[in-house]
Amino acid sequence: MAGVFEHTVNVRWRDTDALGHVNHAVYLTYLEEGRDAFYMWALDGSPMYVVVRLEVDLRAEVRHQDRQVMVQIAVERLGTTSLTTRETIVTAARELVASARVVTVRWDPDQREPIPFSHDERARLTALVSG
Amino acid sequence: MAGVFEHTVNVRWRDTDALGHVNHAVYLTYLEEGRDAFYMWALDGSPMYVVVRLEVDLRAEVRHQDRQVMVQIAVERLGTTSLTTRETIVTAARELVASARVVTVRWDPDQREPIPFSHDERARLTALVSG
Amino acid sequence: MAGVFEHTVNVRWRDTDALGHVNHAVYLTYLEEGRDAFYMWALDGSPMYVVVRLEVDLRAEVRHQDRQVMVQIAVERLGTTSLTTRETIVTAARELVASARVVTVRWDPDQREPIPFSHDERARLTALVSG
Amino acid sequence: MAGVFEHTVNVRWRDTDALGHVNHAVYLTYLEEGRDAFYMWALDGSPMYVVVRLEVDLRAEVRHQDRQVMVQIAVERLGTTSLTTRETIVTAARELVASARVVTVRWDPDQREPIPFSHDERARLTALVSG
């Protein structure tokens, strides 16, 4: 799909829990790793941001022997301080593991409050909004 | 509020990240710890279950010096294999940290598929559905 | 034992791995939680510190149904910038889970280097060195 | 160095703590990820094992912007049920981050007790003992 960024995440043994699969909270860490890589790619750097809203459908288990999953990030909407992304986790065989809509907010770590994206960040991210 | 179960969670240093606050993925672990305690209380045991859908609004930071947060669990809807809960994280001072709607499914770890709640589990959980 | 501080840690489902027990790396997190509580008790506050050396013998599994473990901290030796502690994890039934010797160093997070304990910290910690 | 296996680990944002660096407990997870890859390479599969003893010297911070570290595994000694390895974490620039000696034990997850390495595992691992 045009405009979709993809990043490979290695499954760690520590990601599993006693049900023998990757714990559901770790799915957010996989999405975060993909999102951080997306930001590096889109903005040539890692802006500080926080997650303010999540909707996640968890569709399939991931097990340690899967070794890797892919995270896909597409930009849905850009606000003054916020970015809404559509995020999916798929297996190497492209089976859907989870799909999410995530709202993140650019963050000033000193003031501990949202700040607007810069003009340059805005231009780059706007170009990535899915049609 | 009637029908709301509450459980205290200790904040660990390991829960924080380099923004100086508890990482957003750990909020799901806090909710899970509260939910597991809820199940112990409601069903006299920990049934196996998996999380299939999450909606989470993250409203405030938690920092290590907060030491503790409270997780509140209320039952919204009971299905054949699924339970929908309203879950919140609040500070000791009752400030809202996060609110969530979570759908979990009773799970057969051997077959790796959903199973219905037992008659007894159903009776106990139905009695807890918020009016 | 005289001079031993003890702190209770709640076992989280997220602490387990696919072998059905608490992952060995989480033992360090349990020790850290006990050590942070020890510092709060000994120094009326949480000094910044880093771990520079660990020796750990892991003797028994912890499972989610254990619910709680106890961490015990005893001071072995105080240096200019370092503190050596003997640390154990035991079950509620006082079975030994793990025993460790840990060297931590007082840390200046701005300079990112060790700093000496203050005169007051030194006096308080010296009083706790096991005979 | 002859006989040293090396594996690359991606640093995740979740690995950091509020001191702005990778938490010390996560160093064990990095070593575990390297050890699991070592076992896959040495034995064509992931045997079940548990960690029974650790000695770790932590020499340098890892920060999120380091992006990757390398884990090196060398076999020091093979026992009937146990394997002793020398393990190091180094940066991409080959700076030493941590060095460890780790004793692991082949594990029967059903009986929850140690089991001997098989004849084939023993032959393969013996060939890797550092001279």
Q: Which of D10, D13, D65 sits opposite A10 (nearest CB)?
A: D10
Best residue in C7, C8, C9, C10 for a mutation probing chain B (most B CBs within 10 Å): C10
Residue among C28, C51, C58 whose CB faces D53 most closely: C58
Q: Which residue in the set A26, A50, A56 is minimally distant from B53, CB to CB?
A: A56
Chain A: residues touching D (Cβ < 8 Å) = 9-10, 12-14, 29, 32-33, 36, 46, 64-65
Q: Looking at the partner chain, which of D19, D20, D109 has a beta carbon nearest the beta carbon of C19?
A: D109
Task: Assign B55 a pLDDT band (cuts: 50, 70, 90).
Answer: very high
Nearest chain A alpha carbon to B24: A51
Per-residue pLDDT for C34 more than 50?
A: yes
pLDDT of res. C78: 97
In angstroms, the CA D4 to CA C23 distance is 25
pLDDT digits (tens, 9 = 90+) for C89-119: 999 999 999 999 999 999 999 999 999 999 9
Check residue A3 and give its pLDDT.
Answer: 67
CB atoms inside a 10 Å sphere around CB C27 = 25
Res A131: pLDDT: 63
Length of chain C: 131
Diameter of chain A measured on Cα atoms: 47
Min Cα separation A75/chain C (Å): 31
Which chain C residue has the Cα nearest residue D55? C55
Residue B1 has pLDDT above 50, yes or no: no
Q: ∠ CA D68-A71-A126 to the nearest 5 degrees?
A: 100
Q: Which residues of A touch C14 (CB under 8 A)?
A: 17, 23, 25
Structure tokens at C82: 């370092």
pLDDT of A130: 83
* CA–CA min distance A16, chain D (Å): 12
CB atoms within 10 A of CB C99: 16
Contact call for C16 and A13, based on CB within 8 A: no
Percentage of chain B modeled with pLDDT above 90: 92
Measure the CA angle with vertex C36, ends A15 and B64; round to 5°. 65
Half-sphere exposure of A57 (CA within 13 A, CB side): 7
pLDDT at D1: 45
**What pLDDT band is residue B46 in, cutting at 50, 70 and 90?**
confident
A87 CA: distance to closest CA in chain C (Å): 23
CA distance A14 to chain C (A): 6
The pLDDT value given to residue A46: 81
**Using the beta-carbon criterion (under 8 Å), do B18 and D23 form an inter-chain contact?**
no
- Contact (Cβ atoms closer than 8 angstroms) between residue B1 and residue B7: no
Residues with pLDDT less than 50, chain D: 1
Residue of B nearest to A107 (CA): B19
C112 with D58: Cβ contact below 8 A: no
Minimum CA–CA partner of D12 in chain B? B17
Span C41-95, pLDDT tens digits: 999 888 899 999 999 999 999 999 999 999 999 999 999 999 999 999 999 999 9
Q: pLDDT 10s per residue in chain A (131 long)?
A: 446 899 999 999 999 999 999 999 999 999 999 999 999 999 988 889 999 999 999 999 999 999 999 999 999 999 999 999 999 999 999 999 999 999 999 999 999 999 999 999 999 999 999 86
From D62's Cα to the closest Cα of chain A, the distance in A is 17
CATH (residue range A5-126): 3.10.129.10
Q: Which residues of A41-71 are buried (b: 16+ CB within 10 A; e: fewer)?
A: ebeeeebebbbbbbebebeeebbbebeebbb
In chain B, % helix, strand, coil (3-state, to 5) comes to 25, 40, 30
Say whether D38 sits in a helix, a strand or coil.
Answer: helix
DSSP string, D83-99: EEEEEEEEETT--EEEE
Question: B12: distance to nearest CA of chain D, Å?
Answer: 10
Residue B58 binned pLDDT confidence (cut-offs 50, 70, 90): very high
User: Which of D58, D59, D65, D115 to probe the C interface (max C CBs under 10 A)?
Assistant: D58
pLDDT value of position C1:
45
Contact assessment for residue C49 and residue C118, using Cβ atoms and an 8 Å cutoff? no
What integer pLDDT is reported at residue D130 of this predicted model? 83
pTM: 0.97
Concatenating the DSSP letter of every residue in chain A gives: -TT-EEEEEEPPGGGB-TTSSB-HHHHHHHHHHHHHHHHHHHHSS---EEEEEEEEEE-S---GGG-EEEEEEEEEEE-SSEEEEEEEEEETT--EEEEEEEEEEEEETTTTEE-PPPHHHHHHHHTTB--
Chain A interface disruption, residue of D9, D10, D19, most A CBs within 10 A:
D10
Could you report the per-residue pLDDT of B68-84, keeping only the tens digit for each?
Answer: 999 999 999 999 999 99
CA B71 to chain centre: 7
For chain C, domain boundaries = 5-126
Residue among D29, D64, D65 minimizing CB distance to A12: D29
Q: Check pLDDT > 60 for residue B2.
A: no
* Sign, Cα dihedral of A93, A57, A26, C18: negative
Backbone angles phi and psi of B35, in degrees to 5 = -65, -40
d(CA A111, CA B75): 37
Residues B113, B44 contacting (CB under 8 angstroms): no
pLDDT at C2 over 60: no
Q: Distance of alpha carbon C60 from its chain centroid, rounded?
A: 18
Q: What is the pLDDT of residues C5-32, one digit of tens each?
A: 999 999 999 999 999 999 999 999 999 9
